[in-house]
Structure 1
Amino acid sequence: MFVKNPEYFLAIVKERSISKAADRLYLSQPYLSQYLAKLEANLGVTLLDRSHTPLRLTAAGELFHAYLERQGYLDRQLESDLQQLQEKKRQQLHIGVSTWRGSTLLPDILPRFAAKYPDVQVVLHEAPVPQLGNLAASSVTDFCLMHTPGNLTDLSYELVMHERILLISHKDHPLVRGLDSPCSAPLPFGDLRQLEHERLMMLPEDWRLSRLLYNTFNVQNVEPVNILTTTNNTTAINLVAENMGFTFLPESGIHRTPYMDRLSFFTVGDPPLTCPMAVVYKKNSFLSPATRAFIALIKDFYRQFDRGSALSDP
């Protein structure tokens, strides 16, 4: 579908005013009003609710606006891809991921992807979890792998799995000594109040996983008094391996720790606590065949860890 001067409509939506959009575009207000009226007549729908100040999009307007935004992205992507072909540059796939998630996932995924798409250059954007959504929303990445975002204003996501959160301790800790509880078959921990005076290695309070865990503490009337905050899950599990306390980690990344023989693993709650993991990208964005292939590999790999939605963060 060809839309003449789509930037006019986009400016009206951004300014939420025909007069302000006209000033921004260096057009007269009557001319821009005529443009909008002709556009609505051609489409056969009303795009803006003029009974409100500032202007509001109608349902048809929301759909049309999303179409124009996606069309603009596709045009820019096509120009970039054609330019890369002309300059004989490799196609790039930008992936956002936390440092720990990347270190535990990519060794299993990247070799398979590279074998199928040898001409695609993967560019990693490793960032703290709270920043990943911003990378996707600003189109810095093609997609991010992260817990489902709380704000979906500019984002879409595809659920990958509900991942169990495991409590990890050293095998010689007095609370678990003598228990046979490997990662492959973790026992339920029981009463979390036993951990109130133990050292807990936790991610920052505003991170999604910590919010889920602190809610669990509240529900079970647990008030931890010895918390060591870290932004790196590797730091947490390394300290546990030295019998310095307990930590909570997503199940899927644990298999690459070198200290499995020192550690015991436990589920939390009944049913076991899980957290939703998703592929997140900018709303209405175009996902190339290579991007889709990488996402398919991620979903296939994580299928073994999907525990359903027994108890998860909403």
Structure 2
Amino acid sequence: MNKNLKDFLTSINKTHSISRAADELYVTQPYVSQTIHKYEIKFGTPLLQRNKDSTVLTYAGQRLLAYLIEQDKNYVHLEREMANIAKFKTGIIRLGTNHPLGRYFLPTILPEFHQLYPDLQVQFIETPTSKAAYLLDNDELDIFYGMGIEKKSITFQSLAASPVYLIISKQVDCYDPQLCGVITPLTNPQLLNNQEIIMTRSDSKFQQQVTHFITAQQLTLKTIAVVPDMDLATRIVSHQLGLTFTTMEALIDNNLLTAKNVNIYKVPETMLAIEKGISYKTEVTAPIQTMIELLLSYLKEDV
């Protein structure tokens, strides 16, 4: 839309004259008339009512002028908001994790981040690693903590390889009542052969590593359920159905470390382990860098 249109309509509304409006704005009368006529054709309705002694805005002209005034105000607000975002005064930081990791670090680091950036909003999601890779790559996520993402456009800072655990309900043939309440090293993976297993989704990187382990050990397992995440899989086993692979966080969340009705095995890290760390785009803003540093500080202490 012509940037002078608002000024033309404002001046005509004040002077009730195209010629006086042109003089006031230091432009020619034909230019004012032609500009307004162009928009009368475009909108299909008169913007001016030309009387014998004066020219006034029609209702359509008044509505267009009101819209243009509001548009200018919105643009001023937009410029101010963009300036604030550029100075990190407002905006959004999008943080993702594998379930259920966020509940451990977010309550600790969020208050400190809020003190540094009180007007920045943190949006938190729990998502599989494969989806996090897509979101990061498409600028829909700023930081991800969880299993490693291998992409040229994404930086991954590894923190540690976390062990994987096997939880077995007493309904499984290889359940041993003498091994309840303790964590036992898994020295013979073959005891899992022909047992019933609760799997997580195939697009989960955790499940992909578990499947690789099962294949490498030449195990045959019967999948009886596929669930969204390892926390739910762990909970199902705790209610006495099958076995599953899980993490220490899920075991703690479900109060299973001292449970008397399940066996817990620790898988040797040479066979299976989860490499966890922080993934983010290579170029980051100051708030994102601060969030990364807070995460690293917390997680290194935790490790």
Q: TM-score range by the shorter chain?
A: 0.5 to 0.7
In structure 2, give the amino acid aligned to 1:143: I
What corresponds to 1:192 in structure 2?
189
Residue correspondence of structure 1 range 280-295 to structure 2 within 5 A: 280-282=279-281, 284-288=282-286, 290-295=287-292
Residue correspondence of structure 1 range 195-234 to structure 2 within 5 A: 195-234=192-231
Q: Residues 147 and 162 (structure 1 numbering): CA distance in 2 closer, same or farther, change over 3 Å? A: same
Distance 1:110 1:147 in 2: 21
Q: Residues 117 and 253 (structure 1 numbering): CA distance in 2 closer, same or farther, change over 3 Å? A: farther
Distance 1:180 1:304 in 2: 30
Q: Any stretches of 5+ residues in structure 1 without a counterpart?
A: 1-77, 307-314
Stretches (4+) displaced over 3 A:
78-81, 83-86, 88-91, 107-120, 170-174, 258-261, 269-272, 300-306
Q: By how many angstroms is 1:108 displaced?
A: 4.6
Distance 2:80 2:155 in 1: 24
Distance 2:269 2:84 in 1: 55
1:175-234 Cα distance to aligned partner (Å, 9 max, x none): 23111554xxx3212222222232211222342212212221222221112342111222
What corresponds to 2:143 in structure 1?
143
8 Å contact kept, 1:163–1:305: no
- Considering only aligned residues, what root-mean-square deviation do their CA atoms show, in Å? 3.2
Q: Residues 275 and 99 (structure 1 numbering): CA distance in 2 closer, same or farther, change over 3 Å? A: closer
3-state SS, counterpart of residue 222 of structure 2:
coil
Distance 1:254 1:300 in 2: 24
1:169 and 2:168 equivalent? yes
What corresponds to 1:266 in structure 2?
265
3-state SS, counterpart of residue 155 of structure 2:
strand
Q: Any stretches of 5+ residues in structure 2 without a counterpart?
A: 1-78
What corresponds to 1:82 in structure 2?
83
Distance 1:181 1:304 in 2: 27
8 Å contact kept, 1:163–1:252: no
In structure 1, give the amino acid aligned to 2:153: D
In structure 2, give the amino acid aligned to 1:243: Q
Residue correspondence of structure 1 range 144-159 to structure 2 within 5 A: 144-150=144-150, 152-159=151-158
3-state SS, counterpart of residue 226 of structure 1:
strand
1:70-124 Cα distance to aligned partner (Å, 9 max, x none): xxxxxxxx997624489x9634221122343334543454345445654432111
Number of paired residues?
222
In structure 2, give the amino acid aligned to 1:140: E
8 Å contact kept, 1:161–1:302: no
Q: Residues 104 and 270 (structure 1 numbering): CA distance in 2 closer, same or farther, change over 3 Å? A: closer
8 Å contact kept, 1:170–1:241: yes
8 Å contact kept, 2:163–2:269: no
Largest Rg, 1 or 2: 2
What corresponds to 1:238 in structure 2?
235
8 Å contact kept, 2:93–2:288: yes
Residue correspondence of structure 1 range 1-314 to structure 2 within 5 A: 82-84=83-85, 90-114=90-114, 117-150=117-150, 152-170=151-169, 175-180=175-180, 182=182, 186-262=183-259, 263-269=262-268, 271=270, 273-282=272-281, 284-288=282-286, 290-303=287-300, 306=303
Q: Between the two proteins, what is the percent identity of the paired residues?
A: 18
Q: Residues 234 and 302 (structure 1 numbering): CA distance in 2 closer, same or farther, change over 3 Å? A: same
TM-score (norm 2): 0.62
8 Å contact kept, 1:252–1:302: no
Distance 1:228 1:133 in 2: 26
Distance 2:265 2:82 in 1: 48
